[in-house]
Amino acid sequence: MSILLRRAFVLHRRPFKNTSLLLELFVEGEGRFPAVSRGGAKGSTAGLLQPFTPLRLGWGGRGEVKSLHEVEPDDYQLDRLVGKPLFCGLYLNELLMRLVPRSEPHDQLFGDYIRTLSSLVGEIPLDWSLRLFEMRLLQAAGYELVTDVTLENEPVEPGRNYLYQKGRGFSESPVELSADTSNIISGRTLIALHNKTCDDIQLRQEAKQLLRRVIDYHLDYKPLKSRELFG
């Protein structure tokens, strides 16, 4: 019986017993789930079973933790992440682990993940790559952030300011500013997020603050450890 090996990434690995690895996998068409690779900490599989390496995997088992049978490198390669892009990659993995529940197939998200990883060594500014992935991840996790229409069903306009309503969306900001201005965001930033393009560093900074608040809200304000790397 031949099984088709599936496209996958390792999100996290931990030593398990003497030479085995306990892995958290992100697999195309399957989503994320845990698996054990027996003897995986030894030999050439140890080098392959690392985060950010495109893989083809075969596994079995009925329980929650699957058993990995076959590991092969995928037929394409990504540039090795070094330095700051590597920190960004670790951040992506933590986001996936924290925001996406296990065993929900997220076909689009898998492609988004590959595109984002390759863009981390490309020409798009690093922070903007992260923002676009955060937007897609929120959508996949069921928390889509609608940035072109307000909660009152009005189109977002570049010249106006909007108020972020936790977990819901944006409403037009009242003329008199409330004491807490941290939830105010410009229409230009929202439109940039909708159009997925942004050259203005100030707007990107505003988008970063906004998405940080949105993600923190959905994570019940439990901090993301990888943010400490950016210090």
Partner 1 sequence: MATSLLQELIESLRCLPGVGPKSAQRMAFHLLEHDRDGGRRLASLLSEAMEKISECSRCRTLTEQDVCSVCVSDRRDVSLLCIVESPAELAAIEESTNYNGLYFVLHGRLSPLDGLGPKEIGLDRLESRLDEEVVKEIILATNPTVEGEATAHYISELASSHGILTSRIAHGVPLGGDLGYVDGGTLAHAFAGRQKIE
Positions in the binding site for partner 1 (CB under 8 A) = 11-12, 14, 17-18, 24, 44-45, 47-48, 50-53, 73, 80-84, 86-87, 89-91, 93-94, 97, 224-226, 228-229, 231
Least Å from the CB of residue 124 to partner 1:
21
User: CA 93, CA 101: separation in Å to the nearest integer?
Assistant: 13
Least Å from the CB of residue 80 to partner 1:
7
Q: Which is nearer to partner 1, 24 or 206 (CB)?
A: 24
User: CA 207, CA 42: separation in Å to the nearest integer?
Assistant: 43
Least Å from the CB of residue 229 to partner 1:
6
- Give all strands of the β-sheet with 169-172 in edge-to-edge order: 169-172, 161-165, 184-186
Least Å from the CB of residue 26 to partner 1:
13
User: CA 149, CA 162: separation in Å to the nearest integer?
Assistant: 11
Q: Which is nearer to partner 1, 31 or 169 (CB)?
A: 31
Least Å from the CB of residue 227 to partner 1:
8
Q: Which is nearer to partner 1, 82 or 179 (CB)?
A: 82
Q: Which is nearer to partner 1, 53 or 209 (CB)?
A: 53
Q: Which is nearer to partner 1, 117 or 191 (CB)?
A: 117
Q: Which is nearer to partner 1, 84 or 166 (CB)?
A: 84
Is 117 in a helix, a strand, or coil? helix
- What value, to the nearest 5°, has the Cα angle with vertex 88 and ends 231 and 6? 155
CA distances (Å), origin 76, targets 3, 23, 61, 70? 20, 22, 28, 18
Least Å from the CB of residue 171 to partner 1:
34
Query: Cβ contacts of residue 51 below 8 Å, gap of 6+?
Result: 9, 10, 11, 12, 13, 89, 90, 93
